[in-house]
């Protein structure tokens, strides 16, 4: 369980950082307030995605095992 939580925390940092960076760039361009907007967006995304990863990943894992059974 500790590994799943650590995975969710680290994966959340990486994925939300990348996605928020790209979306803020596309929506705002590069204003002087870019870093502030990006960090705020990143924080909100991270708070949302961690519980989502922890709640959804068991369902997705079962679905993957159904779609691709072990040999």
Q: What is the C-alpha separation between 20 and 15, in angstroms, rounded?
A: 8
Nearest alpha carbon to residue 60 among 13, 8, 2, 17: 8
Render each residue's pLDDT in the chain as its tens digit; 71 residues.
Answer: 788 888 888 989 999 999 999 999 999 899 899 999 999 999 999 999 988 888 998 899 899 999 998 87
Q: Where are the domains of the chain?
A: 2-67
The answer to whether residues 20 and 41 touch, using CB atoms and an 8 Å cutoff, is yes
């Amino acid at each position: 369980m500790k590994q799943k939580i650590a995975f969710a925390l680290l994966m959340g940092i990486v994925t939300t950082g990348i996605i928020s960076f790209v979306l803020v760039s596309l929506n705002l361009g590069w204003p002087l307030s870019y870093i502030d907007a990006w960090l705020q967006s990143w924080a909100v995304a991270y708070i949302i995605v961690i519980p989502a990863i922890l709640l959804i990943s068991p369902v997705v894992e079962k679905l993957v095992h159904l779609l691709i059974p072990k040999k």
